[in-house]
Amino acid sequence: MNLKHALMAMGLLGMTGGLGQGVGAAPITFNTALPLSDGEVIVREQVHYTKASDVVGGMDRQLKLWKSITALGYGVNEKLAVFAAIPLIDKDMKFGGDSDSDSGLADMKIFARYRLYGKDGPGQTTRIGAFAGLNLPTGKFGQTGDGSTDVWGGLVITHASTRWSYDGQIKYTANGAHNGFARGDSRSANLALQYRINRPHENVQMNGFLYTVLEGEIVYAERDKMAGVKNLNSGGTTAFIAPGLQYATKRWIGEAAVKIPVVRDLHGTALQPGATLILSSRFNF
Amino acid sequence: MKILSLLSISLLLLASPAFAKDVQYNLRVDGMTCPFCAATSEKTLRKMKGVRQVSANLDTGIIAVCADETAELHDAKLSKILKKRGFTYVSKTRQDTCTLDVAAKSADAGHKKPGFWASLFHKHN
């Protein structure tokens, strides 16, 4: 079994559920809004499949990327939570007649979130938190990682009711340098809406909740630099929408989304982003 | 003497907490929005001494707790443990009979669990 099959198996294994106590609705495309209370542990397993292709100067270019992300979270107290996201990747690239592939551990993320504001009402809650994290150079330089330690932070807001939920995030990433290469800093904004579509007044003891999900993301990245010189074929603006479904029970959650690029404005001949299929599951302990 | 001993033991047994009556507390808790919230709050309350049965209703924001009447469900304690779980305890009422058992039995007898697919096609109220 190669890494690609292992990644698929991990995602499907996660979808079967039954290990933990329960999970709440949260965005599929970002992890900073994951709900955690004091002493609680959360495990989220995601499998992403991305395919991107274009033609530059008469040459076909293609990227196929499998990614498994295991996100672990722990509630230190009612306000502070710490997280780690461990990505494994398997990518195949083709450029004309040439091809290349890499697989293995990519750059891990660690981050913490602190709740700045929280207000509960009958069947609803609003929370605002600040988060900060690091991308660690755990991937192979030039293959599954860029070798640098990156710093990022931002704000996340959640408003949830028994029918509707929304989450928003703004984030700034300051990328570090390694061996003279520095990826451009980036700014991003995310929004996620969840709308419960099954039996809005049914007792939760009988069935889980099914949500339709619509998420969006916009990212602006500055140009990369090599030995202080800007790479003209890097950086730019991309935006995605991601429709999906989420089924939340008292014990587990299963979710799926398709991330579709709607703005593909990367500079020069940079490979424009493709669509990504995301399968995900979550458990709390 | 033998009779007196037996009588004493009987009286002691009658007075012991094992024979305490079950009552029901209905807790109003804010911030519960999802199945996870119900599971977390139920799990936390179930760990309290004397609590026998717990059931959260997300639509009403009420958690019904059946416990023996000696259970110490003080406001300060409930507020503290539910706050740790991310919820806001508001108030409680007490009723002398526990209706959770009855509700569970009638649900089992009269309402077959609708199932996942059936639940998807139910009309919204």
CB contact under 8 A, B33 and A24: yes
Percent of chain B with pLDDT over 70: 64
Using a CB-CB distance cutoff of 8 angstroms, which residues of chain B are in contact with residue A40? 40
Q: What is the pLDDT of residue A96?
A: 86
Cα–Cα distances in Å, from B93 out to A9, A158, B24, B70?
A: 49, 31, 8, 16
Chain A residues with CB under 8 Å of B43 CB are 21
In angstroms, the separation between the Cα of residue B1 and the nearest Cα of chain A is 55
| Contacting residues of A for B88, CB less than 8 Å apart | 120
Test the A interface: residue of B26, B33, B82, B113 with most A CBs within 10 Å: B33
Per-residue model confidence (pLDDT) at position A14: 39
Residue B60 C-alpha, separation from nearest chain A C-alpha, in angstroms: 7
- pLDDT at residue number B2: 64
Q: Do B34 and A122 touch (CB under 8 A)?
A: no
Buried b (16+ CB within 10 A) or exposed e, A3-21: ebeebbebbeebbebeebb
- This model of the complex carries an ipTM of 0.79
To the nearest whole Å, the CA of B55 is away from the closest chain A CA by 8
- DSSP per-residue codes, chain A: --HHHHHHHHHHHHHH--SSS------SS-STT----TT-EEEEEEEEEEEEEEEETTEEEEEEEEEEEEEEEEESSSSEEEEEEEEEEEEEEEETTEEEEEEEE---EEEEEEEEEEEEETTEEEEEEEEEEEE---SPBTTTB-S--EEEEEEEEEEEESSEEEEEEEEEEE--EETTEEPPPEEEEEEEEEEE-S-TTS-TTT--EEEEEEEEEEEEEPPPEETTEE-TTS-EEEEEEEEEEEEE-SS-EEEEEEEEEEEEEESTTPPPP-EEEEEEEEEE-
Confidence label for B72 from pLDDT (cuts 50, 70 and 90) = confident
The number of helices, as runs of H, and strands, as runs of E, in chain B is: 5, 4
The per-residue pLDDT for A250 is: 82
Cβ within 8 Å, pair A22-B40: yes
Which of A76, A117, A120, A255 has the highest number of chain B CBs within 10 A, making it the mutation to test binding with B?
A120
Q: How far is A155 from chain B (nearest CA, A)?
A: 19
Tokens of A114: 């602190």
Over the stretch B23-59, which tens digit does the pLDDT of each residue have? 999 999 999 998 888 888 999 999 999 999 999 988 8
pLDDT at B100: 80
pLDDT at A21: 33
- For residue A11, the model assigns a pLDDT of 42
d(CA A114, CA A160): 18
Residues in A whose CB is inside 8 Å of some CB of B read 21-25, 35, 37-40, 77-78, 118, 120-125, 160-162, 165, 197-210, 247-251, 253, 284
3-state DSSP call for residue B48?
coil
Paired tokens of B57: 């209703």
B1-33 residue pLDDT tens: 566 666 666 555 555 545 568 899 999 999 999
Distance to chain A for B62, nearest Cα, Å: 9
Residue ranges of domains in chain B, CATH in brackets: 19-110 (3.30.70.100)
| Nearest residue, CB atoms, B59 vs list A160, A162, A253 | A162
| Cβ neighbours of residue A119 closer than 8 Å, sequence gap 6 or more | A125, A126, A127
Interface of B to A at Cβ within 8 Å reads 28, 30-40, 43, 55-59, 61, 83-88, 111, 113-116, 119-120, 122, 124-125
Cβ <8 Å between B30 and A203: no
Mutate to test the interface with B, among A124, A196, A207 (most CBs of B within 10 A): A207
What averages of pLDDT result for each successive group of 10 residues across chain A (285 residues)? 48 35 70 90 95 90 96 94 97 92 96 96 94 97 92 96 94 95 96 86 68 97 95 96 93 93 95 96 84
- Tell me, what's the pLDDT at A251? 77
User: SS3 breakdown of chain B: % helix, strand, coil, rounded to 5?
Assistant: 45, 25, 30
Homologous superfamily of the A3-284 domain (CATH): monomeric porin ompg (2.40.160.40)
